[in-house]
Amino acid sequence: MRISVRRKLALGVASTVMALAFSDFAQAETPAWCGPKKASIALLDGYGGNSWRQVTTASGKQEALKCPSITSYEYADGQGDTQKAISDIKAMAAKGIDALVVFPDAGQAMLPAITSVYKSGKVIVPYRVSAGGKAGVNYTQFVGDDFKTDGRNWGEWIKSILPNGGNLLFLSGPAGNSQGLDEL
């Protein structure tokens, strides 16, 4: 039986997370960011199918294990399907998850679901890719990067290696995502 590289990586990440869950490392000193109130948390990924996403998923679980007040950690992969990602957000909220961390790959299409969860009184934090909206109105807080600076730096680097011009293909994930638009 052949096992794909992706499956091997997923099995490796899963094994590592399980080992950490039962090791002394998971029982390390409680981090300062960990509050006293019991809470459940979910990581909702618009597309969890690449190695960076798998590493961040495992890392998120590892961090949650450090905090004794986190009662459960859940994960959902939207698999690049906007409707599934929206459904995942709504399902986690309906399930009673207290805090949702969302990678809104589909951008502004995710904002109505995010806003609905925020208005229901839950903590919801979109990160990396903007869904639009405003902190305190549509979600608790947005955690992002400076993709415009990244794009400018890449442009300057490309000019330095192709001083007489050239052809480029720019790939940035799902059409219309804020990271790609900012980098352009």
Q: Please, what are the domains in the chain?
A: 5-144 (3.40.50.2300), 147-184 (no CATH)
- 10-14, 56-60, 135-139, 174-178, range with the lowest pLDDT: 10-14
Asked if residue 68 lies in contact with residue 34, where contact means CB atoms within 8 angstroms, the answer is yes
Instruction: Write down the pLDDT at residue 28.
Output: 57
**Predicted confidence (pLDDT) per residue in 86-101, tens digit:** 999 999 999 999 999 9
Q: What is the mean pLDDT of residues 122-143?
A: 94
pLDDT at 109: 94
The per-residue pLDDT for 161 is 93
Report pLDDT digits (tens) over 153-175: 999 999 999 999 999 888 877 77
Instruction: State the Cα–Cα distance between residues 175 and 104, nearest whole angstrom.
Output: 13
Q: Summarize pLDDT for 4-48 with one digit per residue, the tens.
A: 444 434 433 333 333 334 444 444 588 888 888 999 999 999 988
10 Å CB burial of residue 181 (0-12, 13-18, 19+) is middle
Instruction: Check: CB of residue 41 under 8 Å from CB of residue 97.
Output: yes
How does residue 138 score in pLDDT terms, banded at 50, 70 and 90?
Answer: very high
User: Does 149 score more than 70 pLDDT?
Assistant: yes
Which residue from 57, 39, 136 is spatially nearest to 96, judged by alpha carbons?
A: 39
Q: How many angstroms separate the CA atoms of 130 and 113, rounded?
A: 14
